[in-house]
Structure 1
Amino acid sequence: MSVLVPATTAVMESFLEAMDEFVAEGVSDSQTAGWVDTYGDTWRTSEGFEAFVRQVRAEEVDETVLPERWVLTSTRWWVDGDCYLGRVAVRHRLNDFLRDVGGHIGYDVRPSARRQGHATAMLRAVLPHARSLGIDSALVTCDADNAASIRVIEACGGILEDRRGDKLRYWVPTG
């Protein structure tokens, strides 16, 4: 059974396999792509992966560890036992960039686990956490040509507000 958990070293092997899948696919413009760029050279050792997990967890509570222009972000991994399936991130507030493009919530599912309902389940599962942060309705965006993500957002109650450039902007109730 798949569940959301904070970043953990327990899934290191499958996490790294998933990152290899994302790299092979050409991941870009996401939290995952940023992880690959920043940690890809160091996370293949136990010490490097532990440091990466500590950083991801610290980004939820410590503004001093955030990259420039980032906001506090709760990242949860979608796992089944020791198998990493994807990640979902809840940004605690919106800045100008997130208001236009990124939204409160971003997610991705490893390529080999797609089309199995994981994205919808992940988004549904994280909405109570967003609510606990004071987010009554979460902004969730996706590329206008991403039919799968549109289905996920709408299945979770998302209401389309508008399109800005290539991005569709939906509001998803958290309660």
Structure 2
Amino acid sequence: MELRRPRLADKEAVLEMMEEFEQTQSAHDGGFWDVENFVYEEWLESNQNHEMGINLPEGWVPDIQLVAFAKDGKAVGFLNLRLRLNDYLLEEGGHIGYSIRPSERGKGYAKESLRQGLQIAKEKNIHRALVTCSTENPASRAVILANGGELEDVRNGTERYG
């Protein structure tokens, strides 16, 4: 599995994954898009701008949008690495948000995505990344713990791991 920035050549694979998230009405933490007005090429440009801190929506911080790809090239998940934290992210979102497309869950992609995401965070001088999950999400908790997460505390139904 490879976790990397999406490219123009990935359009079909990424759109197929987005469609699955939408059809199943599944949360796509770590992947952000406007369903009604989505244009892939504009999304790629927006991702580049957000990474540089340009044209950030209100309340957002610079981030790196990544997509997980299986060995066969199928897009299997999203991971968003926030390059700094604001008050909201300190409480709930953390440095990393991620999600795996519904048809690919339970195959180890989340664990590997988070492992690679934490490595990228270290390369960006984030040596103690905050990763959070809902108290109602045992699968995400297991992924975080498998990657060495240590529970710091629980706030308003959100488990915070460092």
Tell me the TM-score normalized by structure 2. 0.92
**Separation of aligned partners in 2, 1:77 and 1:125:** 11
Q: Secondary structure at the match of 1:115?
A: coil
Q: Secondary structure at the match of 2:141?
A: helix
Corresponding position of 1:110: 101
Residue pair 1:7, 1:57 contacting (<8 A) in 2 also: no
Corresponding position of 1:41: 36
Cα 1:64–1:42 shift into 2, 3 Å? same
Corresponding position of 1:133: 124
Cα 1:31–1:120 shift into 2, 3 Å? closer
* Aligned positions of 1:3-152 closer than 5 A: 3-28=2-27, 30-32=29-31, 34-35=32-33, 38=34, 40-43=35-38, 48-61=39-52, 63-80=53-70, 81-152=72-143
How many corresponding residue pairs? Answer: 161
Q: Which runs of 5+ in 2 are unaligned?
A: none
Cα 1:137–1:108 shift into 2, 3 Å? same
Letter in 1 for 2:140: S
* The one of 123, 145, 152 aligned to 1:154: 145
Residue pair 2:29, 2:78 contacting (<8 A) in 1 also: no
Residue pair 2:65, 2:79 contacting (<8 A) in 1 also: yes
Q: Which runs of 5+ in 1 are unaligned?
A: none
Q: Secondary structure at the match of 1:142?
A: strand
Deviation above 6 Å: which 4+ runs of structure 1? Answer: none
> More strand by proportion, 1 or 2?
1
Q: Secondary structure at the match of 1:86?
A: strand
Residue pair 1:10, 1:82 contacting (<8 A) in 2 also: no
Q: Deviations over 1:18-59 (max 9, x none)?
A: 112212232348343x41xx2x2344xxxx211111111221
